[in-house]
Structure 1
Amino acid sequence: MSNPYGDFNAKVDYVFKIVLIGDSAVGKSQLLSRFAKNEFSLDSKATIGVEFQTKTLVLDKKTVKAQIWDTAGQERYRSVTSAYYRGAVGAMVVYDITKRQSFDHIPGWLDELRAHADKNIVIMLIGNKSDLGSLRAVPTEDPQELAEKEKLCFMETSALEATNVETAFLTVLTEIYKIIGKKALTASDVDYANSATLKGSSIVIAGQEQNTSASSGGCCV
């Protein structure tokens, strides 16, 4: 099996913007840190506003740079983060399996995402902190039912133990790549600060495409 992360100095064929959304303290930043840098911090602080990291990988012999945005979950930052949904081609909606309220808020996050994002966006529902199974407050049947109803991918992860984190991100990126391969996403409603442009079948975020170095860092039915 070939190395999915390829040559970081290779020409980038695609840039895929993915947003992480969900309530505060569900582990969005830890998921990103685990995927981008294979790190986990027990002393993680709440994200203020928006942060992002990139990781370069190879899909079907094409070099893809994932530009992953970590949006703050606190209500007071909603007006700030909503602008960053535009231009995203993938989203991971995260809840904490030990906090029922974080799952109950998922429909609201989906409504906000769909109000601001492209209609073809690939969405994965993530139940994080699977290592805390003894404290589970969200039975797996509930997110499975929601995922089926909303036509989402679904996976449980543990950023602490690195369980399914890479698989989840690679699944979303692969689904995006399949869509791009069949038909380019329409650019009519995509206006990420006037910087999202469509070239052929690739998505390029202006101002980012020259930086090809990665920061050390089919499930939808």
Structure 2
Amino acid sequence: MARRADEEYDYLFKVVLIGDSGVGKSNLLSRFTRNEFCLESKSTIGVEFATRTLQVEGRTVKAQIWDTAGQERYRAITSAYYRGALGALLVYDVTKPTTFENVSRWLKELRDHADSNIVIMLVGNKTDLKHLRAVATEDAQSYAEKEGLSFIETSALEATNVEKAFQTILAEIYRIISKKSLSSDEPAPANIKEGKTIVVGGSESPIKKPCCSSS
């Protein structure tokens, strides 16, 4: 079936959000895809994904951002969640040290289940809560460098660095895909080949909650 003109894109990049429950993954997703922030957001049950089409290095990329709750009882969806992901934002809350300490566990899970070439970015969220900060920027930066991750701090509430975080990881994915295309005669995988999509579940139009507002 032909796509409508406004749905045309060159690449479809799946990016997953991982990290403990309550670190702000859902609001990073809603801020990037709908420019909304929900003060009363509740834990995500199961999986939600939303999409946004944008320009990356002169090409039209449809970013498909997946979000799931970080609570242990939802870990059963691991395999399907990571399948086909080209990028991951590993999120922690700068005001909660435990969420940063758990980053290593999430990173291990990611490396166990995701593609070995997945692009990973460590994201320290909720920088707007300056008076409650408990994780130093330097500590996170040092950890990211040690593990070979890119790093950024964000505030989904104030929309600080959210756009930059997603643009950066999408650009890095594109650079890797471009290098592979140039250095290999093999066809690109289905989820990155022009005009192809990956099989997904869920809705591309998540229900908007009344508490959400755009700014």
Residue of structure 1 equivalent to 2:72: 75
Deviations 1:167-216 (A, max 9, x none): 000000000000011105xxxxxxxxxxx9437855943357xxxx998x
In the alignment, does 2:63 pair up with 1:66? yes
| Structure 2 residue runs without a partner (length 5+) | 182-187, 209-215
* Cα distance, 1:67–1:106 mapped onto 2, change above 3 Å: same
How far residue 59 of structure 1 moved from its aligned partner, in angstroms, is 1.6
TM-score by structure 2 length? 0.84
Change (3 A) 1:181 1:102: same
Q: Find the partner of 2:81 among 80, 84, 89.
A: 84
Q: 1:16-72, CA deviations, whole angstroms, 9 ceiling, x for partnerless residues?
A: 000000000000000000000000011101000110000001122211000000021
- Bigger mean CA deviation after superposition, 97-106 or 136-145: 136-145
**Of 104, 109, 112, the match for 2:106:** 109
Query: Percent identical across equivalent pairs?
Result: 63
Contact 2:18 2:25 in 1 (8 A): yes
1:17-96, aligned counterparts within 5 Å? 17-96=14-93
What residue ranges of structure 1 are gaps of 5+ in the alignment?
Answer: 1-7, 185-195
Does structure 2 conserve the Cα–Cα contact (< 8 Å) formed by 1:16 and 1:203?
Answer: no
**Cα gap change, 1:61 to 1:130, in 2 (>3 Å):** same
Given the two structures, how large is their TM-score scaled by the length of structure 1?
0.82
CA distance in 1, matches of 2:110, 2:87: 10
The answer as to whether partners of 1:55 and 1:214 remain within 8 angstroms in 2 is: no
Change (3 A) 1:91 1:164: same
Counterpart CA distance in 2 for 1:200 and 1:27 is: 28
User: Is the CA contact (8 Å cut-off) linking 1:71 and 1:81 kept in structure 2?
Assistant: no
Aligned length: 197
Match of 2:211 in 1: none
Asked whether 1:162 is paired with 2:159, we answer yes
